[in-house]
Amino acid sequence: MIANDLSQHDFRQIARWLYEKTGIYMNDSKQPLVNGRLQKRLRELQLTNLSAYRKCLMADENEQQLAINLLTTNETYFFREPKHFDFISHELLHAEQKQRGWQVWSAAASSGEEAYSIALLMAERYGLASSWQIVGTDINTQVLNTARRGIYPIQAAARIPQNLLKSFCVKGKGKDEGWFMFKPALRDHVTFTRYNLINGPGLGQSFDLILLRNVLIYFELADKQRIVQNVLSNLRPGGWLLVGHSESINGYDPRLQTVRTGCYRFMP
């Protein structure tokens, strides 16, 4: 074994720590992944083995956040799983009459693409002067910083419908060449904050729509169920919960009615 490799003992200690902190479950098959992702940090700290890193991790809260930032999987893109956005646009925003603006929670927001995709649909339907609001949360502080900036590589815009891009985004110029950003008036409707899904009991707000997409896959069954309960305590009666297409929560709660793949209505 080379010196920098994580021994099984160190791996299991780190995996246990990660599980206790975040609920993310990593079995022994994830050892190479964890090893690879932590190497960067090891080099920065000039540590020669991961056993030393483990000790440093256990003793330092800041290091723990850095490790969470490295160990979470943050893949996301604009309008990911487009059927959900068709559903939101056609079935929810154009069908439901609302007295006040939609309150939406993107509960594993990563770098913000999901939250801004919803914001674009809201802006198209209701304009920027009305009172809809999107809250994005994640446990990874690094991706949240990207989300707050609201500036993305121009290639990422390829997934955004042209009319929405034209109306609500601005192409970067000069030093911002190659990037695009959301107009400030749209960004004003979107906020981001750190929140750990496993901690419960949610944000203490009542949302009309919650997206909990492509995050449940990282948890064990009992924790998935707990997280869904936490999230439901923040969903208004008649509100909507969306999970990833491959993350069925059928049977988790009798108050949830399946409407489409990954789309549930909360009917207490």
Ligand X SMILES: C[S@@+](CC[C@H](N)C(=O)[O-])C[C@H]1O[C@@H](n2cnc3c(N)ncnc32)[C@H](O)[C@@H]1O
Query: Residue 214, interface with ligand X (CB under 6 A)?
Result: yes
- Residue from the set 218, 240, 252, 266 that interacts with ligand X by CB under 6 A: 218
| Binding-site member from 20, 28, 61, 75 for ligand X (CB under 6 A) | 75
Q: In sequence order, what are the residues at sequence separation of 6 or more whose Cβ sits closer than 8 angstroms to the Cβ of residue 55? A: none
Nearer to ligand X, 47 or 156 (CB): 156
Looking at 138, 208, 213, 223, which residue is catalytic?
138
Binding mask 129-158 for ligand X (x = CB under 6 A): ---------xxx--x---------------
Least distance from C-beta 198 to ligand X, angstroms?
5
Q: Which stretch binds ligand X (CB under 6 A): 32-40, 85-93, 210-218, 248-256?
A: 210-218
138 carries an active-site annotation: yes
Distance CA 118, CA 151 (A): 16
Span from 7-15, 85-93, 122-130, 211-219 in contact with ligand X (CB under 6 A): 211-219
Selecting among 37, 149, 236, 265, the annotated active-site residue is 37
Asked if 137 contacts 195 with a C-beta cutoff of 8 angstroms, the reply is: yes
